[in-house]
């Protein structure tokens, strides 16, 4: 289900032909609302983005979509990888998305975009008798095709035309042009967008710049700035702590930094260097601090990630141990070393970024660094608010935004799209090569194919349904093969600083596990109720839970640090016991509920009350004699 994280705030001024963040443009003209897809975190298209879109449409349709001088807005839409709606001249022209199966960008035109792409390739002309049915939403049947561009193959995005060459639909070809023209039975084009023919709107006026867009939105920007300044001053007054701003080198924290600078004269800039930052980011942080003449307090995690990865395996969406090892420590050190009595830190967090942040407060206490208060003055800003504000202030933002990166953070974050990793290989080949070399070695050790790396399946412990269907369609095995007993267990516990969600612990046995063997014993019932699905064993006890993955990764979530640490240690001992049980029977005598039986090895049934006495008595756990 798609969540509305905030109000969808993209409008277009027909008089100025500019994007506006409200119902009225600075020119006083009423604006037209653009029905973008939620969550609606709109942003500008830079030259690289426009060139990418034009290269893609020219490759597919033989025509560049975006004329020179157009101001283009992109809206990230939900998709299995990365997809952006392309908006200019007051209309959504289509979407550009990175398709994993092809490992390339594909443009999916809407009717408005298709009208600008006619005259090139990938067109299908239908019989007059089929026109009304297609306009009303029907797909194109092969017997109704009069003509088609001979280059069309199955899977291509195509434009459907009337005999008068007017656009009435767009969609994906279900067969090649050659088959369409033989008038076989079946669907020739599965249509996505359908509608009556309309003339192409001509927007011939002068070229527009982002300075023009700033001017059109100035009345809105000033209100947002005034509200942010008021918030900042009130929080500073009530907190009575030293003021700092967390600057990551990203656009949101830069906007926050500039807002605080104009509201209060003295504060520190904090930079937590994870050791996985782009060089451009490090350079930008230093440059901004120098230009603003503000103290820069930084702490680097150095090579912690690469020193830890052999213990934990590749970080994944479910188990981002890297956040704790590389980011949490740096943040904690920064605060502890510089602020004996704590501090107030302004952070560039916005609700449009994620559902979790949409539900978060404007002011909060850092759950891991107890003497730090966090506050965000831009909670209700969209990315376009941020960008227009930066353009207004002539801010020197991170140059990577103009190189195709829409997010700036750790360069190997598992939450990044394969579109991002594809661009990483082009901009920073040495970083991409380093990551890929490790992943291929890890895949070989785990009995996984190279395709597991190529298509980015390493980013999950358990593939999402849409990604799993791609792997199955391509015949790619994504389940690690257990080859040996684990020899150690590495663990990290704490708050997840780059994603809210309480206290978690991540651990790894350093090798894949035989999950069926672990599951069949039922020994994880000692922790709570269990369920095994899709390469993961889920164990639940009230609000606490443990996930055990086939890769050997274990993730626990608990109430607080102490509780979570106990939970993952209990899971570790239980898994050792399941894998190394000799069937000695010592545990049977400890169980008053008669929940344990011996069938080669110990087995626990649903009568278990989770008292844990059997674990404490187990020689494997107590003495480690068989580990």
Looking at residue 587, which CATH number applies to its domain?
3.30.310.10
64 belongs to a structural domain: no
On whether both 256 and 124 belong to a single domain, the answer is no
> In 10 A of CB 584, how many CB atoms?
14
Token readout for 314 is 């590749």
Token readout for 468 is 């799993």
- The predicted pLDDT at position 369 comes to 66
> In 10 A of CB 136, how many CB atoms?
10
- The predicted pLDDT at position 497 comes to 59
- The predicted pLDDT at position 359 comes to 42
On whether both 389 and 531 belong to a single domain, the answer is no
> How confident is residue 368, by pLDDT bands cut at 50, 70 and 90?
low
Please give the residue range of the domain that contains residue 605: 490-623
Angle subtended by helix axes 251-263 and 383-392, to nearest 10: 60
On whether both 237 and 355 belong to a single domain, the answer is yes
Backbone dihedral angles phi then psi of residue 202, each to the nearest 5 degrees = -95, 120
- Residue 4 scores a pLDDT above 60: no
Q: Which of 350, 378, 400 is the last residue of a domain?
A: 400
> In 10 A of CB 153, how many CB atoms?
12
- Mean pLDDT computed over 205-222: 94
Lowest-pLDDT range of 63-77, 179-193, 365-379: 365-379
- The predicted pLDDT at position 533 comes to 83
> How confident is residue 360, by pLDDT bands cut at 50, 70 and 90?
very low
CATH number, residue 315? 3.40.50.620
Q: Which residues contact 49 (CB under 8 A, 6 or more apart)?
A: 72, 74, 84, 404
On whether both 150 and 218 belong to a single domain, the answer is no
248, 347 contact by CB (below 8 A): no
Three-state DSSP state, 285: helix
- The predicted pLDDT at position 488 comes to 83
Q: Give the residue with greater pLDDT, 176 vs 334.
A: 176
- The predicted pLDDT at position 240 comes to 87
449 belongs to a structural domain: no
Backbone dihedral angles phi then psi of residue 216, each to the nearest 5 degrees = -65, -25
The share of the chain scoring above pLDDT 70, in percent, equals 93
Q: If residue 519 lies in a helix (H) or strand (E), which one and from where to where? A: helix 515-521
- Mean pLDDT computed over 330-353: 85
- Mean pLDDT computed over 180-205: 88
574 belongs to a structural domain: yes
On whether both 563 and 509 belong to a single domain, the answer is yes
Q: Which of 208, 235, 267 is the last residue of a domain?
A: 208
> How confident is residue 559, by pLDDT bands cut at 50, 70 and 90?
confident
596, 602 contact by CB (below 8 A): yes
On whether both 224 and 251 belong to a single domain, the answer is yes
> How confident is residue 352, by pLDDT bands cut at 50, 70 and 90?
low
> How confident is residue 204, by pLDDT bands cut at 50, 70 and 90?
low
DSSP string, 240-267: -S-EEEE--SSHHHHHHHHHHHHH-S--
- Mean pLDDT computed over 395-408: 95
> In 10 A of CB 35, how many CB atoms?
8
Q: Which of 180, 208, 236 is the last residue of a domain?
A: 208
Lowest-pLDDT range of 101-105, 261-265, 403-407, 491-495: 491-495
> How confident is residue 23, by pLDDT bands cut at 50, 70 and 90?
very high
- Residue 467 scores a pLDDT above 50: yes
On whether both 557 and 502 belong to a single domain, the answer is yes
Token readout for 251 is 């656009």
| Tens-digit pLDDT profile for residues 584-615 | 888 888 888 999 998 888 999 999 999 988 98
Average pLDDT, the chain: 91
On whether both 193 and 283 belong to a single domain, the answer is no
407 belongs to a structural domain: no
> How confident is residue 499, by pLDDT bands cut at 50, 70 and 90?
low
On whether both 390 and 303 belong to a single domain, the answer is yes
Three-state DSSP state, 169: strand
Residue in 33, 36, 41, 26 with CA at minimum distance from that of residue 386: 41
102 belongs to a structural domain: no
- Mean pLDDT computed over 118-132: 96
DSSP string, 574-600: HHHHHHH-----TTGGG-TT--EEEES
On whether both 201 and 305 belong to a single domain, the answer is no
- The predicted pLDDT at position 14 comes to 94
Looking at the structure of the chain, the number of domains it has is 3
On whether both 274 and 300 belong to a single domain, the answer is yes
- Mean pLDDT computed over 336-352: 88
Q: Give the residue with greater pLDDT, 499 vs 63.
A: 63
Q: In whole angstroms, give the CA distance from residue 70 to residue 76.
A: 19
Q: In whole angstroms, give the CA distance from residue 415 to residue 332.
A: 23
- The predicted pLDDT at position 599 comes to 87
∠ CA 572-578-580, nearest 5°, is: 100
- The predicted pLDDT at position 356 comes to 42
> How confident is residue 2, by pLDDT bands cut at 50, 70 and 90?
very low
- Mean pLDDT computed over 433-441: 97
156 belongs to a structural domain: yes
- The predicted pLDDT at position 495 comes to 65
405 belongs to a structural domain: no
- The predicted pLDDT at position 483 comes to 67
CATH number, residue 146? 2.30.130.10
| Tens-digit pLDDT profile for residues 501-541 | 568 899 999 888 888 889 999 999 999 999 988 789 999 99
289 belongs to a structural domain: yes
On whether both 167 and 311 belong to a single domain, the answer is no
- The predicted pLDDT at position 502 comes to 64
- Residue 327 scores a pLDDT above 80: yes
> How confident is residue 625, by pLDDT bands cut at 50, 70 and 90?
very low
| Tens-digit pLDDT profile for residues 258-307 | 999 999 988 999 999 999 999 999 999 999 999 999 999 999 999 999 99
């Amino acid at each position: 289900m798609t969540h509305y994280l905030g109000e969808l705030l993209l409008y277009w001024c027909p008089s100025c032909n500019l994007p506006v963040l409200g119902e009225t443009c600075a020119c006083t003209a009423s604006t037209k609302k653009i029905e973008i897809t939620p969550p609606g975190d709109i942003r500008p298209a830079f030259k690289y983005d426009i060139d990418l879109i034009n290269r893609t449409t020219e490759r597919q349709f033989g025509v560049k979509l975006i004329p020179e001088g157009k101001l283009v807005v992109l809206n990230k839409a939900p998709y299995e990888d990365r997809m952006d709606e392309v908006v200019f001249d007051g209309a959504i022209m289509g979407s550009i998305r990175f398709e994993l199966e092809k490992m390339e960008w594909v443009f999916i035109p809407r009717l408005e975009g298709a009208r600008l792409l006619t005259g090139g390739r990938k067109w299908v002309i239908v019989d007059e008798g089929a026109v009304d049915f297609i306009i009303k939403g029907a797909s194109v049947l092969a017997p109704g095709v009069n003509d088609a561009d001979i280059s069309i193959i199955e899977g291509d995005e195509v434009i459907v035309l009337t005999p008068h060459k007017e656009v009435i639909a767009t969609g994906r070809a279900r067969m090649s042009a050659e088959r369409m023209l033989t008038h076989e039975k079946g669907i020739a084009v599965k249509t996505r967008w359908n509608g009556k023919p309309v003339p192409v709107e001509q927007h011939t006026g002068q070229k527009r710049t982002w300075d023009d867009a700033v001017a059109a939105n100035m009345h809105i920007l000033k209100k947002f700035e005034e509200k942010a300044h008021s918030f900042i001053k009130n929080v500073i007054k009530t907190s009575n702590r030293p003021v700092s701003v967390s600057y990551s080198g990203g656009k949101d924290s830069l906007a926050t930094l500039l807002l605080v600078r104009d509201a209060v004269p003295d504060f520190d800039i904090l930079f937590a260097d994870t050791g996985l930052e782009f060089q451009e980011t490090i350079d930008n942080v230093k440059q901004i601090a120098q230009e603003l003449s503000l103290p820069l307090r930084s702490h680097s995690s150095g090579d912690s990630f690469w020193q830890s990865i052999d213990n934990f395996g590749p970080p994944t969406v479910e188990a981002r141990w890297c956040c704790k090892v590389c980011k949490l420590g740096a943040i904690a050190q920064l605060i502890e070393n510089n602020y004996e009595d704590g501090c107030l830190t302004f952070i560039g967090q916005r609700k449009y970024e994620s559902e979790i942040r949409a539900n978060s407060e404007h002011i909060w206490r850092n759950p891991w660094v107890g003497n730090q208060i966090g506050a965000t003055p831009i909670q209700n800003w969209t990315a376009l608010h941020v960008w227009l504000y930066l353009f207004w202030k002539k801010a020197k933002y991170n140059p990577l935004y103009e190189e195709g990166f829409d997010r700036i953070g750790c360069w190997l974050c598992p939450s990044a799209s394969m579109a991002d990793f594809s661009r990483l290989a082009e901009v920073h080949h040495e970083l991409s090569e380093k990551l890929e070399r490790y992943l291929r070695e890890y895949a070989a050790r785990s009995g996984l194919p190279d395709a597991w790396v190529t298509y980015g399946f390493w980013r999950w412990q358990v593939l999402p349904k849409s990604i799993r269907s791609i792997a199955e369609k391509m015949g790619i095995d994504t389940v690690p093969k257990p080859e040996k007993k684990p020899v150690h267990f590495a663990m990290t516990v704490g708050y997840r600083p780059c994603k809210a969600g309480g206290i978690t612990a991540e651990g790894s046995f350093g090798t894949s596990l035989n999950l069926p063997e672990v599951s069949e014993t039922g020994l994880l019932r000692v922790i709570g109720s269990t369920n095994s699905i899709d390469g993961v064993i889920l164990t639940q006890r009230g609000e606490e839970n443990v996930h055990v993955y086939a890769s050997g990764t274990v993730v626990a979530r608990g109430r607080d640090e102490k509780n979570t640490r106990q939970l993952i240690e209990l899971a570790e001992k239980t898994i050792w016991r399941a894998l190394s049980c000799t069937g000695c029977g010592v545990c049977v005598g400890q169980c008053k509920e008669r929940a344990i039986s011996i069938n080669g090895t110990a087995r626990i049934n649903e009568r278990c009350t989770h008292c844990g006495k059997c674990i404490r008595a187990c020689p494997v756990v107590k003495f480690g004699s068989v580990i």
